[in-house]
Amino acid sequence: MRRATLALVFAASLGVTVLAQTLLDRVVARVNGTVILLSDVRAAVLFGLVDAPAESEDGVEQMVQRSLLVEEVNRFPPPEPAGDAVDAEVARLRARAGMSNEEVERATGLTADNVRLLARDRLRIQTYIDQRFGLTVPLTDEQVLQYYRAHPEEFTVNGQLAAFERAQGLARERAGLEQRQRTISQWLRDLRARADVSVPAR
């Protein structure tokens, strides 16, 4: 599936003239005045920042979310990531794309500086989320027990449901993760609801 997606990305962005006309780029959304282009989504797919086809609604929606996050991070900036960390992140993105700087620019229009900014923003988003929502969520025993009861399949080994006392540690970890994700999801929905987002007709 991913291979097919990439093939489409390149075919479209290189102007392959198999079809009479090929769409090179366009506006896919505006988020509080910031324009998101189709080539932004294609690049994000290429770097693994978006997990959906670039031309899909889901892909655009993920880019809208990312734009809102970057905006929020710029409003309340976390500590600047170290240069080494950004370098490492750039390397990871490039490895994910499997292309040189020149090839990335030719395919998407993003320069090496643009890619570095993508890497920087990803690290800043991560730091911001960790700072804002914490790495662990304190839970009562009752909440852990509820999770254990609601997800017995996660604590069943060889058809045998582990006793709560034995599974408590794992249940607490997973309940905390679920709680954290629920909180962040709600926060993202609120951000989206407050934002001025317009998506041009296709």
Partner 1 sequence: MTARQAATYLVLAFGVLAAPGVAAQTSAVAAAPVVDEIRAEREGRPVTSPAIISLIETAAGQPLSMRQVRETIAHLVNLNLFDDVQVLSESSGRGGVRLIYRLVPAHPVDRVEFRGMLGLSEGDLRKAVEDRFGDIPRAAQIENVAGLLRTLYRDRGYPTATVTGEIVPTHDPDRATLVMNVQAGPRPPIVDVQLTQLDADAQGLLDDRPAIRTGIPYDKAAVDRELQRWIDRMRGRNYYEARSSHGVLFPPDGAVLSVSVTRGPRVTVAFTGDSLSENERERLVPIRAEASADEDLLEDSARAIEVYLRGRGYRQARATYLRTPGPRDVTITFDVRRGPHFTFGTVDVTGAASMTPAEVREFLLVKDGEPFTENALGAGVARLRDAYLARGHALVKVEPAESVVAPAAGGAGHVNVTVRVTEGPRTVVRAVAFEGRMAVPEAELRARMLLAPGRPFSEREVAADRDRIDLEYRNRGYDQVAVRSDVMRAENDTQADIRYTIEEGPQVLVDRVIIVGNTRTKAETIERELLVKPGQPLGYSDLIESRVRLGALGLFRRVTIEQLPHASEPRRDIFVRVEEAKATVIGIGPGIEGAFTVRRDENGDAVEQFEFAPRGFFQIGRNNLWGKNRSVNLFTRVSLRTRDVVVGSGGVELTEGRYGFNEYRVVGTFREPRAFGSRSDVLVTGILEQAIRSSFNFLRREARVETGLRLSRLYSVTGRYSLQRTEIFDEQITDPAQKPLIDRLFPEVRLSTFAGSFLRDSRDDVLDSAKGTLLVVDSDIAARAIGSEVGYVKTYVQGRTFYKLPPARRTVVALAGRFGAAHGFPRSVPRVDENGAPVTGDDGAPIVDVVQDLPASERFFAGGDTTVRGFALDRLGDASTISDTGFPKGGNGVVVLNAELRVAVTKRLQGVGFVDAGNVVARASNIDLFNLRTAAGFGIRVATPVGPIRLDLGFKLDRRELSPGRLERRSIWHISLGQAF
Site for partner 1 in 106-125 (CB under 8 A): 106-111, 113-114, 117-118, 120-122, 125
Long-range residue pairs from 74-82, CB within 8 A, at least 24 positions apart, any chain: 76/128, 77/124, 78/124, 78/127, 78/128, 78/131, 79/127, 80/124, 81/120, 81/123, 81/124, 81/127
Kindly determine how many residues on this chain lie close enough to bind partner 1 according to the rule CB under 8 A.
78
Q: Minimum distance between the CB of residue 14 and partner 1, rounded to whole angstroms?
A: 6
Q: Minimum distance between the CB of residue 170 and partner 1, rounded to whole angstroms?
A: 20
- Contacting partner 1 within 81-110 (CB under 8 A): 83, 92-93, 95-99, 103, 105-110
Task: Return all residues near 99 (Cβ < 8 A) that are at least 6 apart.
Answer: 46, 107
Q: Minimum distance between the CB of residue 165 and partner 1, rounded to whole angstroms?
A: 30
Measured CA to CA, the distance from residue 48 to residue 44 in angstroms comes to 6
In the shown chain, the binding pattern of residues 21 to 60 toward partner 1, with x for contact by CB under 8 A and - for none, equals xxxxxxx--x--xxxxx-xx------xxxxxx-----x--
Task: Return all residues near 49 (Cβ < 8 A) that are at least 6 apart.
Answer: 62, 66, 118, 122
Applying CB under 8 A, which of residues 134, 136, 184, 194 lies at the interface with partner 1?
Answer: 184
- Using CB under 8 A as the binding rule, whether residue 62 contacts partner 1 is answered as yes
Q: Which of 119, 113, 111 is nearest to 86 (CA)?
A: 119
- Contacting partner 1 within 146-175 (CB under 8 A): none
- Using CB under 8 A as the binding rule, whether residue 20 contacts partner 1 is answered as yes
- State the Rg of the chain over Cα: 21
- Using CB under 8 A as the binding rule, whether residue 136 contacts partner 1 is answered as no
